[in-house]
Amino acid sequence: MLKELTLLIDIQALDTQIIKAKELIEKSPDALAIHDESYVKAKEGYDAKKEELDKTKRYKKELDSALEDASSRIDKLKARSSTIKTNKEYQTHIKEIEQAESDVVHIEDEILAAMEKIEEREKALKLADAVFKKEEGNAKQKTAHINEDVKKAHIELDGLLKKRQVIANLLEGKLHDDYLNTLERMDGIAVAKVDNSICYGCFMNIPPQVYVEVMRNDKLYKCPQCGRYLYYANQSG
């Protein structure tokens, strides 16, 4: 096989791995962000449930204070009963006591309702906490895996680039430049095998005479359709 063709095949194989490693590294922030979405959503859900519970607890605390004030007011009103002299004052006094007692009943009902809400929201918070902890664990695990993959990709990329430089140094400058241009234009594939008259870069048929010439692997040929460098698959492997 022509030396230049062998070098092109080898450098293409390395560039394919280099592109893959670079894509993994470049896409890692997006991959992390996707995993973070579930975590953030679970955290927001937990925070919302906690705020609901805390709000209800604060409201119940206010009701407890109001109940204490209302009960104290009743005690004070009842303590004043012995000091009332006229019937009119007494009737007004009774109404004040009745209103205060009504307030107590209303507050007690509100407290019971608040306690029920607290119980419900504690259960909801417990569920949200379980979801959050699960997603937090998943996020940490996935982040560790992605970071490990990125670390390995960096190490692999460093080795691949060194190997590539060795081959690039052996390629004639213009040929290497043309290869790079083709690599950029053809989405990372500048060298393609050909078999049964089909270019495996664009999967189009090449002319029979060109196919016969390519099968010898003794000259550089490009696909008439896509412009990729061609080599005969069965001979080169």
Structural domain including 207 reads 177-236
> Is 145 found in the same domain as 166?
yes
Q: Which of 116, 139, 171 is the last residue of a domain?
A: 171
Q: Which two tokens stand for residue 158?
A: 């460093």
Asked if residue 235 has pLDDT above 70, the reply is: no
| Same domain for 139 and 47 | yes
- Is the pTM for the entire model greater than 0.75? no
Q: Which of 150, 171, 192 is the last residue of a domain?
A: 171
The CATH number that applies at residue 53 is 1.10.287.1490
Tell me what the mean pLDDT of segment 63-86 comes to. Answer: 90
Q: Do the Cβ atoms of 183 and 229 come closer than 8 Å?
A: no
What's the whole-number mean pLDDT along residues 180-192? 97
d(CA 234, CA 206): 16
Q: Which amino acid is at 42?
A: A
Q: How far apart are CA 82 and CA 7, in angstroms?
A: 113
In degrees, rounded to 5, the angle at the alpha carbon of residue 42 between the alpha carbons of residues 58 and 38 is: 165
Note whether 128 and 51 are within 8 A (CB). no
Give the pLDDT confidence score for residue 236 in this predicted structure. Answer: 41
Q: What share of the chain is helix, strand, coil (3-state, %, to 5)?
A: 80, 5, 15
Same domain, 108 and 153: yes
Lookup: tokens for 47: 């925070």
Regarding whether 118 and 33 lie in a shared domain, the answer is: yes
- Summarize pLDDT for 79-106 with one digit per residue, the tens: 888 888 888 888 988 999 999 999 999 9
**Is 69's pLDDT higher than 80?**
yes
What are the residues whose beta carbons fall under 8 Å from the beta carbon of 122, sequence distance 6 or more?
Answer: 53
Is 167 in the same domain as 204?
no
First to last CA, the chain: 11
| Share above pLDDT 70 across residues of the chain, in percent, rounded to a whole number | 99
Ramachandran assignment for 227, one of left (phi > 0), alpha (psi -120 to 50 degrees), beta (any other): left
For the chain, what is the domain count? 2
H or E element, residue 229 = strand 229-232
Residue 108: which residues within 8 A CB-CB, separation 6 or more? 67
Instruction: Looking at the structure, tell me whether residues 72 and 23 fall in a common domain.
Output: yes
- Within this chain, do residues 32 and 91 fall inside the same structural domain, yes or no? yes
Please tell me whether residues 135 and 185 are part of one structural domain. Answer: no
Beta partners for residue 229, in sequence order: 191, 222
Whose CA is closest to 206, among 233, 236, 191, 227?
Answer: 227
pLDDT tens by residue, 35-61: 788 899 999 999 999 999 999 999 999
**One domain for residues 185 and 161:** no
Name the average pLDDT for the chain: 94
- Could you identify the residue written with the tokens 């080898």? 10
Neighbours of 211 (CB within 10 A): 19
Boundary (domain end) residue, out of 127, 153, 171 = 171
